[in-house]
Amino acid sequence: MEAVSRVAVVGLGYWGPNLARNFDELGELAWLCDLDDGLRSRFAERYPHARTTADFAEVLADDDVDGVVLSTPVPTHYPLAKQALQAGKHVLVEKPPAMHAAEAEELVAIAEERELVLMPGHLLLYHPAVHKLKELVDSGELGEVLCVYGNRQNLGKIRKDENALWSLGVHDLSVILYLLDEEPTEAIAHGRDFLTQGVEDVVFCYLRFPSGKIAHMHLSWLDPNKMRKITVVGRDKMAVFDDMELEHKVTIYDKAPESAPTSYGEWRTRTGDRFSPKIPNDEPLKLECQAFVALMRGEGDARATARDGLAVVRTLEQLQGSLAGVPA
């Protein structure tokens, strides 16, 4: 594949180095940008062919840069993404792309008007196991899908500037909207800020969709178990994606209720085989970076990608409103 795009990675804290590594492996890395001198010099040593700067404007002024990858703190996403789009750059912005639906809408509008890519870093949408779930849903293998729920819990990194809904929920929500292919009409969240005032560390969400399907998310960093799980319940079969499993990432359960032939209105349960399909071992972040490069080259549906990011922010905002007691 001819390398025509050149990428700048902005933000080299915890997550940015993973993006820099992948774009370097793809032969696309041109710039590294961070406010922190120590981080810049550390990564300049690792990637000597990339230019470094603390000044975002310098990256935007380089006509050879096609794409900007933002891995900076969440409140900076909207202003930096807007500047980049206005400078004519394609943007891959870490999740969530903005903190308000109106900001995300503005970014989508600029991207569409200027025919630029605006891709949210919804990592799980590039996970081969999520693609398998989507295949199971779309092919009808599970029967009519009734409900989906996500568990994302861990006594892990306790964040002070983002609550569990925005930090963790963005992952499950992107998958739920992708699997069901509709936006909820009802989105309610309940939670508590046990550790840091105003930052909910335990959140339970309920979503109801126009088709009648429902979804739930349990998001928390106060939990004895590390769970990264998405369950899809169909009328005929059920499927679970467990990202803590090394090998059996997806399990399909051939079990369901069925009506008893002898008595009208009674249900009995059917339990059949349990099956784990082979899931490719590709690194989801590598696939995400490849997808960004492909979109920049005009392959794939850039508009749909940007709009999917907007739908996630819109639903997060609805959930946040209900968490704060603001009527929808």
Tell me how far, at minimum, the Cβ of 100 lies from ligand NAD, in Å: 15
Among 7, 8, 9, 12, binds ligand NAD (CB under 6 A): 12
Q: Is 21 a residue that touches ligand NAD (CB under 6 A)?
A: no
For residue 257, say if its preceding peptide bond is cis, omega within 30 degrees of 0.
no
Among 7, 8, 11, 111, binds ligand NAD (CB under 6 A): 11
Alpha carbons 232 and 147: distance in angstroms, whole number? 6
From residue 228 to residue 257, the character string flagging contacts with ligand NAD as x (rule: CB under 6 A) and all else as - is: ------------------------------
Tell me how far, at minimum, the Cβ of 67 lies from ligand NAD, in Å: 16
The letter for the amino acid at 294 is A
Alpha carbons 308 and 121: distance in angstroms, whole number? 11
Residues 43-102 that bind ligand NAD (CB under 6 A): 56, 71-74, 76, 94-95
Tell me how far, at minimum, the Cβ of 59 lies from ligand NAD, in Å: 9
Closer residue to ligand NAD, CB minimum distance, 31 or 149: 31
Residues 91-150 that bind ligand NAD (CB under 6 A): 94-95, 121, 123
Q: Is 168 a residue that touches ligand NAD (CB under 6 A)?
A: no
Q: Answer yes or no: are the C-beta atoms of 96 and 168 closer than 8 Å.
A: no
Q: Is 39 a residue that touches ligand NAD (CB under 6 A)?
A: yes
Q: State which residue has the least CB distance to ligand NAD.
A: 13
Give the H/E segment covering residue 235.
none
Q: Minimal CA–CA distance to 228: which of 169, 154, 155, 152?
A: 152
Tell me how far, at minimum, the Cβ of 36 lies from ligand NAD, in Å: 4
Alpha carbons 319 and 96: distance in angstroms, whole number? 14
Closer residue to ligand NAD, CB minimum distance, 71 or 318: 71
The string of DSSP codes covering 10-47 is E--SSSHHHHHHHHHHTT-EEEEE-S-HHHHHHHHHH-
Q: Minimal CA–CA distance to 184: which of 218, 166, 208?
A: 208
Structural tokens at position 103: 């900001």
Residues that bind ligand NAD (CB under 6 A): 10-16, 33-36, 39, 56, 71-74, 76, 94-95, 121, 123
